[in-house]
Amino acid sequence: AQKVTQAQTEISVVEKEDVTLDCVYETRDTTYYLFWYKQPPSGELVFLIRRNSFDEQNEISGRYSWNFQKSTSSFNFTITASQVVDSAVYFCALREGSGAGSYQLTFGKGTKLSVIP
């Protein structure tokens, strides 16, 4: 069965510091998708990124970057020069398979990030 572990429950950083959120996953599938979602205090989950299991290329989007390493089953998320608006709960999620029946997301328990001004 699939599993996602976010070992960091809460992190606090001072504004402008860099911060990395860890995500480790378990799956028996060779085809799978990994996601990061952001849940700000308003509560609505916001999609940030998706990676598929065949693409280990790291990605950078502005201040956000993601490091996907199949060898360690990790998909870590780094925020550079953090800002107060980055304060939120961040969820890592896994979706197995590629067929039409493979659909549900398995979420980690989330990491609450607080950026202190």
| CA proximity to 112, closest of 85, 84, 91 | 91
In the complex with another protein, the residue whose CB is nearer, 31 or 80, is: 31
6-45 footprint of another protein as x/- string (CB under 8 A): ---------------------------x-x-x----xxxx
Q: Which residue of 29, 67, 98, 112 would you call a contact of another protein, by CB under 8 A?
A: 98
Buried b (16+ CB within 10 A) or exposed e, 31-63: ebbbbbbbeeeeeeeeebbebebeeeeeeeeee
Q: Which residue of 66, 86, 87, 108 would you call a contact of another protein, by CB under 8 A?
A: 108
Q: Which residue of 17, 104, 114, 116 would you call a contact of another protein, by CB under 8 A?
A: 104
What is the size of the binding site for another protein (CB under 8 A)? 26
Distance CA 53, CA 90 (A): 21
Q: Which residue of 12, 14, 20, 47 would you call a contact of another protein, by CB under 8 A?
A: 47
Distance CA 59, CA 4 (A): 20
Radius of gyration over every alpha carbon of the chain, rounded to an integer in angstroms? 14
User: Where does this chain bind another protein (CB under 8 A)?
Assistant: 33, 35, 37, 42-47, 50, 52, 91, 93, 95, 98, 100-110
